[in-house]
Chains A and B, each alone.
Chain A
Amino acid sequence: MNRLVLSGGQVIDPANSIDAPGDLVIADGRVVSIERPGSVPADAGGRWIDVSGCIVCPGFIDPHVSLREPGFEEDECTASGTAAALAGGFTSVAAQSDTDPVVDNRSSAEFVRLQAERAGNCRVYPLGAVTKRSSGEELAEIGQLVAGGAVGFSDAKRPVANAEVMRRALEYTQMFNRPILHFAIVPELAEGGVMHEGFESTRLGLRGIPAAAQDIMVGRDIALVQLTGGRLHLMNISTEDSVERIRIAQRRGLKITADVTPHHLYLTDREMDRFDTMYKCFPPLRTPEHIRALIEGLKDGTISCISADHQPLAIEKKAVELDIAPPGICGLETLLPVCAKALIEPGHLSWSQLISKLTCGPADVLGLPHGRLTSGVLADVTVIDPSEVWTISAGDFRSRSRNTPFDGLQVQGRVIMTIVGGDVRYRSRPATKF
């Protein structure tokens, strides 16, 4: 029997309401049990790792990651993106359909899984496109995509603008019990926009994207879920009004979930006066009032997931003028410390609450059997040192891209080990230090 014991840590498993010191016992790639702290001796057989002072929790899950392969290998490939995921503490990611060609057919979905298997890093679940070529016109072969392994459907950053198409998609996907992950933005109100519309955009002369661009589409989507009974997950919620609309819809019992990114929780539109393309993202960075609402949404459960919204972009694509630079932040490797800065340090969330947004929250959205340390489940585990102070260095990224606004930021809290199916796939420091 292949045994692994993580001894002396604080085991946090929000799905099972566990937040206590304990020894996690893993055997043959699965969770066996959580024992009293220090009760499993170092010489009990198998590997025994001292993780005292650390948090032991289920492996993180990101509901939408752009892996860029095939078609955009200058930004990222499956191997580099999943290596970045491991370094960020992720044991499972859902791969966005925004490759070239788009994942709108069974063989493309199977290619995603094949490349992930070859890379041998974290688990990768494909997302299929909602519409063919993500053009928003005709439904993609959703049934075939499910057969190819798709766990959900998304046209990535391209909103399904046509309400009739969205209605059909919400109806059709119900038959497979898979969610649609929608990027809710009214395209006409966002066109050409570089940043949040408000005082800062007025001051800087930069074209703005009003909060209403998201609020309106969120409102439309909620109405369509009410009409169809479909399952909808709203990606990258960034505004106060959207959070409130989602909260009300959930109270009415609609099957709607939502996520937010760390950068929308930590950075505001004030940063744009650096005119630095690293801060350009979509939706844009908002104001402190919106951030407060997003945090309230996390606290009361309206927002059940945090996603890095990993958008790796080659340096030459970002080394251009603000209006032509593509939006996006390379986020997998900085998610945890930025969340700690935005949520833990100011006391907004407990570690257990934060971890739920990264584990059982996204697992439940995608219907994955992960995100918990229940006896018998695959042993996907992340170990965090909550007290380690370190400095983010884009040069050290496993990702092929370096587009981050957090380069040089001093942070506290670090993923030090990532375990997939009982196999230690990532360590931030040499094994002897444990």
Chain B
Amino acid sequence: MRFSEVPIAGPWGERHLLGLERLTADQIQTVLDLADYYHRMTQKGAVRLDLLKGFVVANLFFENSTRTRTSFSLAAKRLGADTVDFSASSSSLSKGETFVDTALTIEAMGVDLVVCRHRTPGAPHLLSRHLRAGVLNAGDGTHEHPTQGLLDILTIRQKLGRIHGLTVALVGDIRHSRVARSNIHGLIKLGARVIVCGPSTLIPADIVELGVEVAYDLDRILPEVDCVNLLRVQFERQRGAFFPSISEYAALFGMNGDRIRRGKDGMLVLAPGPINRGVELTPEVADGPNSVILNQVSNGLLVRMACLTLLARERQKAVEVAQ
């Protein structure tokens, strides 16, 4: 199978996928449409393509992650690419090698695409300035997590048929959430109304300049929203106490059966996992009819296949030009 056989109608032209802030609405639609195409292919039973045969995708994970890494690995394998995994939990400095050195070493082994997860905002951007390989941001600290944003948006589009005109609430720890930032950029570009809702200590005041509305009372906004995205409380990124107790958080912002009943009929409940059951949402909601959490997981695979395809195509163009 060749790139020309895959239906890529919209614009792309990016060598790297660093964040949704830098993409246009049309570029985002290109990814979503390609993911939908892979969805149809998968439903027809085609689980393995050889589109990326001969490509090497390196997973560079400087921060622990099982779900995202597995999803990226599987996406690459389904497209026929070879994958290598590299994980380093410690900071690069303690190893005496700089982060850029590590990436250059891995690139020298003949890598085409680098999937990077790092606890520091901008780490993939730094790589993109030093590597010839395409760089895919799999989460940089509290900055962006573009494939998560895309898969959330894809899930909403699949279930509700559109993004334009919808009201989406992002609930929880906005300050420390890269998922929130990617969702905000993507949703607003596609014409959604976005409300961020959470403890005032976890919503930076300047966030309104990104075009969102701010609310502190979840119950008040529930009747207006078409979907809620329950962000995980990032206990590990918080410096000091941002709210008095977990039970108070759950009482104010946790999604439970009562709140589901107070919301619109068919309100979607998303959660970018791993979820803290009993904190952001109750098991009743997580496993209930409004929850699309498992759809998010399978869409994650499709979105990552789409992103890898688009970046591999650019990579091949660049190699052809170089030759």
Contact = CB atoms under 8 A, between A and B. Distances in A.
A199 B93 contact: no
Contact of B120 (A201, A316, A322): A322
Given A321-B92, A324-B91, A199 B209 contact: yes
Interface in A180-218: 191-192, 198-199, 201-207
Nearest to B118: A321
B99 A321 contact: yes
6 contacts: A204-B143, A205-B141, A206-B143, A319-B101, A320-B92, A320-B93
B218 to A, nearest CB: 21
B98 A316 contact: yes
A388 interface: no
B275 interface: no
A57 B17 CA distance: 52
Interface in B223-264: 239
Given A191-B239, A321-B92, A275 B126 contact: yes
A31 to B, nearest CB: 50
A364 interface: no
Contacts of B191: none
A320 B121 contact: no
A323 interface: yes
B118 A205 contact: no
A320 B120 CA distance: 10
A304 to B, nearest CB: 33
A204 B18 CA distance: 12
Nearest to A198: B206
A204 B121 contact: yes
Interface residues on A, range: 20 to 34
Interface of A: 191-192, 198-199, 201-207, 274-275, 316, 319-324
Contacts of B143: 204-206
Contact of A205 (B98, B178, B209): B178
Contacts, number: 70
A320 B118 CA distance: 12
Interface residues of B, number: 30
Interface string B197-208: 000000010110
Contacts of A324: 91, 93, 120
B73 to A, nearest CB: 24
B122 interface: yes
A275 B121 contact: yes
Shortest Cβ-Cβ A-B pairs, 5 listed: A275-B122, A205-B143, A205-B142, A199-B206, A321-B120
B125 interface: yes
Given A192-B239, A205-B141, A205-B144, A320 B206 contact: no
A301 B183 CA distance: 48
A273 to B, nearest CB: 8
Given A204-B121, A205-B144, A206-B143, A321 B206 contact: no
A57 B122 CA distance: 44
A279 B93 CA distance: 20
A320 B90 CA distance: 13
A203 B121 contact: no
Interface in B12-35: 21
B285 interface: no
B100 interface: yes
Interface string B176-188: 0010010000000
Interface in B123-168: 123, 125-126, 140-144
B98 A322 contact: no
Residue with the greatest number of chain B CB neighbours at <10 A, chosen from A204, A206, A316? A204
A82 B125 CA distance: 36
Given A198-B206, A316-B98, A204 B122 contact: yes
A323 B120 contact: yes
A321 B99 CA distance: 7
A323 B239 CA distance: 14
Residue with the greatest number of chain A CB neighbours at <10 A, chosen from B126, B140, B239? B126
Contacts of A205: 121, 140-144, 178, 181
B321 to A, nearest CB: 26
B210 interface: yes
Nearest to B205: A202
B267 to A, nearest CB: 28
Contacts of B99: 319-321
Contacts of B93: 320, 324
A321 B210 contact: no
B123 A321 contact: yes
A316 B236 CA distance: 28
A322 B125 CA distance: 11
Residue with the greatest number of chain B CB neighbours at <10 A, chosen from A201, A203, A207, A323? A203
B100 A275 contact: no
Contacts of A319: 98-101
Interface in B52-86: none
Contact of A202 (B21, B123, B206): B206
Contacts of A198: 206
Nearest to A206: B121
Contacts of B125: 274-275
A324 B175 CA distance: 20
Nearest to B210: A203
Contacts of B91: 321, 324
